[in-house]
Amino acid sequence: MTAFVIVGHRARTDGNFSVNDLPGAGRMDVLCRAVNASFFLSHDLRRDVTCYLVLCGEPAPPKTIRFDGSTLRSLSPDERSAGSLIKKALSTVCGSEFREAAAGVFVRKGGLDRLLTEIPVAVLDEQGTDIRTAPHLPDAFLLSDHENFTADEEAFISTSPRFSVGPKCLHADHTITVLANELDRRSAGWK
């Protein structure tokens, strides 16, 4: 099992946005692409992946959406498809425990601080250990959207291991794709 956690610092926390303007919903497009990168193979979904979106924008922050590859359905590769599932989750009344809003898509109130008590994550960081040279890779990775982690978030992850995917700073979705490729290679015995 692999988990990807992506923080959307300004991503809206209700369903009152248009899938025709995902950037306008607090850069929800960044999160939609991260969902795509987490799950899609050429003609399949990665069933052993969980993707968490931590949404910190108005009007009801924070909320956490969980996509479970094992039961996920109705996800197409285009941004609007992930956007529609996020919108459905954010339109679902929820409390402090995960509630299923669509097949394989769950939502709850609460943010990164709680999630990190449940899942120990490694952080993607340009100064981290190269993923290709690390003897072992962890099961869960934390990424930020287009903004840096806040000071509060940095405090939560100050002791987390840090990994780098390469010499250039990439978007979150591209980072997930490179990570998934490294994990695929290790699973298959490729170098």
CB 52 within 8 A of CB 65: yes
Task: Tell me whether residue 29 or residue 153 sits nearer to a second copy (CB atom).
Answer: 29
- Helical spans, DSSP H, in 16-77: 28-39
Q: Please give the Cα distance from 80 to 142 (Å, whole number).
A: 23
Kindly list the residues in this chain that would bind a second copy in the complex (CB under 8 A): 20, 22-23, 29-30, 33, 36-37, 40-43, 76-80, 130, 132-133, 146, 165-171, 174, 177-178, 180-181, 184-185, 187-188, 190-191
Task: Tell me whether residue 5 or residue 30 sits nearer to a second copy (CB atom).
Answer: 30
Task: Tell me whether residue 107 or residue 176 sits nearer to a second copy (CB atom).
Answer: 176
Nearest distance from C-beta of residue 93 to a second copy, angstroms: 28
Task: Tell me whether residue 116 or residue 172 sits nearer to a second copy (CB atom).
Answer: 172
Question: Hey, is 173 helix, strand or coil?
Answer: helix
Nearest distance from C-beta of residue 9 to a second copy, angstroms: 15
b/e per residue 133-149 (b: at least 16 CB within 10 A): ebeebbebbbbbbeeeb
CB 108 within 8 A of CB 99: yes
CB 7 within 8 A of CB 112: yes
Nearest distance from C-beta of residue 187 to a second copy, angstroms: 8
